Structure 1
């Protein structure tokens, strides 16, 4: 699952936290014997430490047609192995992961539905290097690159004496007539929310017709992220990801307009600016690829409609520096039960005393293991292999579902929903032929010791033996939400659904943070299946040995039955709720 951008309206402490949220990877943990000066403001955790008897490595075995815990385990130990180096999009590890997925899709007899008769839909991923001689002069003042301004573009941008015009708030802006923006840079202020900030930095923000480009003004709380767009070397060069944009800090507004920001109205013309944003662009050394496959339906008419089942294949890669795996495991469980969601928690003296004691006990039976790989077993190895198991089950049925099943393993979800954004903008099947999308992201945990999220009111949510979170299942189609409930009951899966993370205005904004959203914004009914968060979220400790495979089997079987019900029912789920603006800012 994609990491949060900002936790409230305040920014996190570093650019690295912004999307990868790999806070403990950047260096060694603090000494567990020198914690006397840490504040005593946080309670000591009392939940028992999760234990596992599963091995660190597992020899692969042949899989069966049925969905089983053993098959899921075999698949996940392969897919989340160290050899795939954390599967970061645009790297060798991600390339290898997509090779594995395509090879298995071919073995299962699925039809390729990517580019040119292949299983791959390749994103136009490119690498950029920003020239430090880039310049931005506004109101006679030269802005500091990386601190006061940054830019996103597929090529060098030059603006000479180009006037700016205020367009309003991003996502709520007035549609100024073409003649009013012609030849100008349109300035939009970015709302102080995590979804708006993610949209501004890596989402689709359209350039108004006739305008030369856009200038996005980040809120004061997010000033530290102006340089983020310069620090990310990889980007998707596609119109679906927005046009050329300049990113500036809030203080720059006074250089663009003579009137205070609070008095500006849409259409107000400001100063003229001179910009030279210089960069070298080359293709990424390793392609970023969606893996797309189809199981044709058995009904001559309905086979041209699709039930989409998806997950994301990527994770967040590797740390530059190896740290002690067990220290991270214990530290996060006690101090950061939400993993990267709690990266602002540093621990207190009592907690470090408990950490020391548990680590000393662990050292009696296990030696120190240095670790630098974010294996992403749960996020989202669990979803990726669950999709494989569902594909194997459906492909071996004597009578296939009437509708076709569209399997998509999206790439780059951790980068800002890259793969699903690209696929839905350039779908290899007719987009309106997709009757529903079932998204599987992090379905390998959810025990009673896991903090799976928080309620809208801020109370911890915890898992259990029958636990499963659902998000978005009734946001477009109440019929789809009812169908998932009825399948769970009729097929005696007996899972207990937690809708706590699906509340409107939930501060964690989960509905906007995984691949289902890119389908929902185009009017496709979705359900996001997840067992929720935990202390290994975006951490080095998200490994196959900590996954609950019997629980994961139950979740995968439920989703397979939902997919079959959707594939065989006479009509598609009726969309009876308000549709989203596909170019607007996602708000849960």
Structure 2
């Protein structure tokens, strides 16, 4: 699962003083039988029959290979990831799955390029001869490529609070295409301190206050970058930024050619393709071209008017430099296709990411749970469906099994696939995504037979009911929806590959057991995997998939909450 570094940085941004504030075990083996009983003329329950072929020993056999030291942590673009891809190709081919990728050296491999770059420590912004330094006065956050790799002269645009809702728009009358914008953190208020942007269906009144959503709006308007003005004095800002210095110095990644763009103003992660920066109070005021009293007067005038007003100040010309040495690397998704029968043009995607963190300080991060567990579950599901087809009980709809790469770097494998699908997205009925399902997290007792369900009801109420019925009929796990609620603080819904399907209006379910003590640590190893529990969760995915691919009518999209 993609790390929450950037959401943590957002929390830092929202936690710094804002203008509005100046004026928040025991293992149990599943008992199943391979062959369904027949009582009289009762038809065999093939879903139960083939789900029972998913066994702990099979999952252990695969994971012992996938999460071994020989794969060197499967870091995107590195030799260990290539070895893992080759293993997955071999397994898909042995199952009789088709390779659906045209024009590739292997029909099972969807190659694509990534840009990798590390931020340099000597970035700066110069305004009227005064220099402001990276990590002391500002920092960039998000897995993004710097738009200021060489010294760049800019004339920023001040956009107030950088929000809009209905008739209220801080961007009214402004052309910010290709420009750098400066926005105040916080929310516009009236003279009584009440928010001017009201709550709407599904969104609280502070929904558009988030720095990430301000960035998404700026991206949608065509801006090159956005500087989010906090009101932390330089010393406090530098101290807080120092807490994230290690993460901020890690390499950043980007897709050079992601394909058709999806404008997304509700994403709870850094939007791709725009530089996003937090600034200290001093730098923010300089970028806006004003003083603290001048900015306070602007907000009071806005509050009196109840709408955006023209500021009495204007940003000066600035010089921005954030060097970032870059390299291009090639990575690949691994795809296996099982053709359906009478409804074969409709396709269910079953996905997991197989990349992990690689080697750091000579220590291998094997990622047995993240996401070796999901990867081997996909292999087991593929074998169960392939066996069903071989024995004459194959699915009516087709199934595309996808092992995604570059999830840890920013969901890039799924972003690339959904922009360059091998099956038209219009024919894709759903994505069932599996990421970290082999352990018990900190929130559950080791005795609990559970799985967290995320996103099942956001686009299709039918999908949600199908999964619940499958669990009630077969696996009887505790389905935990704690990560599926609005404004969930860990932003789990936005942190794995299903999200790139959801933002393109394809129904999804994300199966996960959440973070544990070994999450993103070198101690996430095979011996800590609870294979009986992993088996139960994989069987639930199978039963849900079985219904999706064999029902008479494809599920409907009847909601719009991606």
Instruction: State TM-score, norm by structure 1.
Output: 0.69
Q: Which residue of 332, 338, 350 maps to 1:295?
A: 338
The answer on 1:136 being equivalent to 2:125 is yes
Aligned-residue offset at 1:150: 5.2
2:273 alignment partner, one of 243, 249, 252: 243
SS class of match (1:396) = helix
- Aligned with 2:228 (options 217, 225, 236): 217
Aligned to 2:501: 519
Aligned residues: 465
Return the offset for 1:133. 6.6
User: For 1:228 and 1:400, how far apart are their aligned partners in 2?
Assistant: 47
- Report how far residue 483 of structure 1 moved: 0.4
Matched, 1:548 2:530: yes
Distance in 2 (CA, whole Å) between partners of 1:237 and 1:266 is 38
CA distance 1:130–1:478, shift in 2 (3 Å)? closer
1:385 match: secondary structure: helix
Structure 1 residue 545: Cα displacement = 1.3
- Taking the aligned partners of 1:525 and 1:10, their CA distance within structure 2 comes to 29
The yes-or-no answer on 1:80 pairing with 2:67 is yes
2:276, 2:488 → 1: CA distance?
A: 30
CA separation in 2, counterparts of 1:384 and 1:417?
15
Distance 1:83 1:574, change over 3 A: same
**In structure 1, distance between residues paired with 2:409 and 2:309:** 32
Please give the residue correspondences for 1:247-262 in structure 2 after superposition, counting only pairs within 5 Å: 247-251=277-281, 252-257=283-288, 258=290, 260=292
**1:466-503 CA-partner distances (Å, limit 9, x unpaired):** 3222122112222111101112233x222222223323
**Mapping for residues 34-49 of structure 1, pairs under 5 Å:** none
Q: How does 1:120-269 map to 2 (within 5 A)?
A: 120-128=109-117, 135-149=124-138, 152-153=145-146, 156=149, 159-166=152-159, 168-169=161-162, 174=169, 176=171, 180-181=175-176, 184-188=179-183, 207=219, 211=223, 213-217=224-228, 219=230, 223-224=241-242, 225=244, 231-232=250-251, 234-238=253-257, 242-245=272-275, 247-251=277-281, 252-257=283-288, 258=290, 260=292, 263=298, 265=308, 269=314
Instruction: Report the counterpart of residue 467 of structure 2 in structure 1.
Output: 484
Looking at structure 1, the residues matched to 9 and 287 of structure 2 have their Cα atoms a distance apart, in angstroms, of 28
CA spacing shift, 1:175–1:378, aligned 2, 3 Å: same
Is the Cα–Cα contact under 8 Å of residues 396 and 550 in structure 2 kept in the other structure? yes
Provide the secondary structure at the position in 2 that maps to 1:2: coil
Of stretches 381-390 and 101-110 in structure 1, the one that deviates more from structure 2 is 101-110
Secondary structure of the equivalent of 2:555?
Answer: coil
- The reply to whether residue 411 of structure 1 matches residue 405 of structure 2 is yes
Distance 1:227 1:504, change over 3 A: same
For the Cα contact (< 8 Å) 1:473–1:481, is it kept in 2?
A: yes
Gaps of 5+ in 2: 14-24, 28-50, 188-205, 262-270, 300-307
Query: 1:395 deviation in Å?
Result: 1.7
Are 1:111 and 2:98 matched, yes or no?
yes
Deviations 1:49-103 (A, max 9, x none): x89xxxxxxxxxxxx9932111111001000001112222232222221221122
Alignment correspondent of 2:353 = 312
1:270 aligns with 2:315: yes
Q: Kindly tell me: are residues 508 and 266 of structure 1, through their superposed partners in 2, closer, same or farther at Cα, counting changes over 3 Å?
A: farther
Q: Deviations over 1:551-576 (max 9, x none)?
A: 22222122112112101112222222
Q: Indicate the larger mover: 275-284 or 419-428.
A: 275-284
Q: Which residue of 2 aligns with 1:394?
A: 385
Name 1:27's counterpart in structure 2: none
Alignment deviations for residues 358-390 of structure 1 (CA, whole Å, 9 cap, x no partner): xxxxxxxxxxxxxx3221111110100000111
8 Å CA contact 1:165–1:270 kept in 2: the answer is: yes
Matched, 1:381 2:426: no
For structure 1, list consecutive stretches of 5 or more residues without a partner in the other structure.
Answer: 13-47, 52-63, 322-371, 454-460, 581-588
**Helix, strand or coil for the counterpart of 1:470?**
strand
Aligned to 1:586: none
TM alignment of 1:487-498, pairs within 5 A: 487-490=470-473, 492-498=474-480
Alignment of 1:3-14 (within 5 A): 3-5=3-5, 6=7, 10-11=11-12
CA contact (8 A) 2:356 2:365 kept: yes
- In the alignment, is the contact (CA less than 8 A) between 1:8 and 1:507 conserved in 2? no
- C-alpha distance in 2 between matches for 1:246 and 1:207: 10
Alignment RMSD: 3.7
- CA, structure 1 residues 234+243, in 2 after alignment: closer, same or farther (shift >3 Å)? closer
Q: Following the alignment from structure 1 to structure 2, what is the Cα–Cα distance between the partners of residues 266 and 115?
A: 54
Contact 1:136 1:276 (8 Å CA) reproduced: yes
1:448-459 map, 5 Å: 450-451=441-442, 453=443
2:137 & 2:561 partners in 1: Cα distance?
37
Find the aligned partners of 2:505 and 2:186 in 1 and give their Cα distance.
Answer: 24
Matched residue, 2:196: none
- Cα shift readout 1:524-556 (whole Å, capped 9, x = no counterpart): 111111233322222222211121212222221
- Matched residue of 1:109: which SS? coil
- TM-score if structure 2 supplies the norm length? 0.72
CA 1:204–1:572: 2 relative to 1, 3 Å: farther
Kindly tell me: are residues 126 and 196 of structure 1, through their superposed partners in 2, closer, same or farther at Cα, counting changes over 3 Å?
farther
